């Protein structure tokens, strides 16, 4: 049985945005801090640090989760995706990101990375998601700028755009 002692840094290996990473971290380090401080992946923002605000939402094994509620010691072997994974190449936005820009789905941007990761997971699982489902998923996020309306509009526009793309490719 692996026993990781307190106050010692232990090796943690996982996949981050398609790349194997290996870092040393104390058991008590939160995944949000591990990403930002040890791996320099500062796209993930840290808000409340007790799972309420949704700013730090990332994807673990395809599901949107709070990175502030996951310990470094729990992430060994997992597949982690953060907002850095969304853009297909530098200087080009994903369909979802472009829709946020087009529809003013953000103002200060603090909550945006988390919201994008939730919606990206939703659209991957349910490409025909409707407004009710989008709102249900957004309920796990706090945004103090937009009033959410433009975020919902952006998500619906992304659904539409992805549908068009799929039809063109078919």
Partner 1 sequence: MKPPAFDFLKPDTLDEVLDTLHRRGADARIIAGGQSLVPMLNMRLARPAVLVDIMRLDALRAIREERGEIVVGAGVRQAALESWPQLSAKLPLLARAIGWIGHVQTRARGTVCGSVAHADPSAELPLSLIALGGSVRLASRRRKRTVAASDFFLGMMSTAIADGEMIEAVSFPVAGNGTGHAFREIGRRHGDFAIVACAAVADATTTHLAVGGVDDLPRRFALPQSDGKALDEALNEIAWSLNARDDLHASARYRRELVRRLGRDAVMEARSCRN
Three-state SS for 24-43 is EECCCCEHHHHHHHHCCCCC
Whether 81 contacts 17, CB under 8 Å: yes
Nearer to partner 1, 28 or 164 (CB): 28
Nearer to partner 1, 11 or 101 (CB): 11
Q: Which of 16, 70, 129, 158 binds partner 1 (CB under 8 A)?
A: 70
Nearer to partner 1, 68 or 154 (CB): 68
Nearer to partner 1, 30 or 41 (CB): 30
* 97-118: burial string, b at 16+ Cβ within 10 Å, e else: bbbbeebebbeeebbbbbbbbb
Rounded to an integer, what distance in angstroms lies between the CA atom of residue 83 and that of residue 75?
18
Q: How many residues bind partner 1 (CB under 8 A)?
A: 34
Helix (H) or strand (E) holding 98: helix 95-102
Rounded to an integer, what distance in angstroms lies between the CA atom of residue 76 and that of residue 156?
35
- Is residue 3 close enough to count as binding partner 1 by CB under 8 A? yes
Site string for partner 1, 17-46 (x = CB under 8 A): ---------xxx-x--x-------------
- Is residue 93 close enough to count as binding partner 1 by CB under 8 A? no
- Is residue 139 close enough to count as binding partner 1 by CB under 8 A? yes
| Strands 10-16 and 79-81, sheet pairing | parallel
| Least distance from partner 1 to the Cβ atom of residue 84, Å | 19
Rounded to an integer, what distance in angstroms lies between the CA atom of residue 122 and that of residue 159?
10
Q: Which of 54, 80, 86, 153 binds partner 1 (CB under 8 A)?
A: 54
Site residues (CB under 8 A) for partner 1?
Answer: 1-7, 26-28, 30, 33, 48-51, 54, 57, 60, 63-66, 68-71, 73-74, 118, 136-137, 139-140
């Amino acid at each position: 049985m692996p026993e990781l002692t307190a106050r010692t840094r232990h090796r943690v290996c996982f996949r981050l945005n398609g790349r194997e990473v290996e870092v040393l971290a104390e058991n008590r380090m939160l995944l949000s801090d591990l990403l930002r401080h040890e791996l320099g992946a500062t796209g993930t923002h840290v808000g409340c640090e007790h799972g309420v605000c949704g700013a730090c939402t990332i994807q673990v094994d395809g599901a949107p989760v709070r990175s502030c509620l996951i310990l470094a010691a729990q992430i060994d072997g997992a597949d982690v995706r953060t907002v850095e994974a969304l853009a297909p190449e530098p200087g080009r936005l994903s369909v979802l990101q472009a829709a946020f820009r087009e529809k003013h789905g953000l103002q200060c941007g603090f909550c945006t990375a988390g919201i994008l990761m939730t919606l990206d997971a939703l659209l991957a699982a349910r490409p025909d998601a409707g407004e009710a489902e989008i709102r249900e998923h957004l309920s796990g996020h706090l945004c103090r700028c937009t009033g959410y309306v433009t975020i919902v509009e952006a998500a619906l526009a992304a659904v539409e755009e992805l549908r068009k793309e799929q039809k063109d490719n078919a």
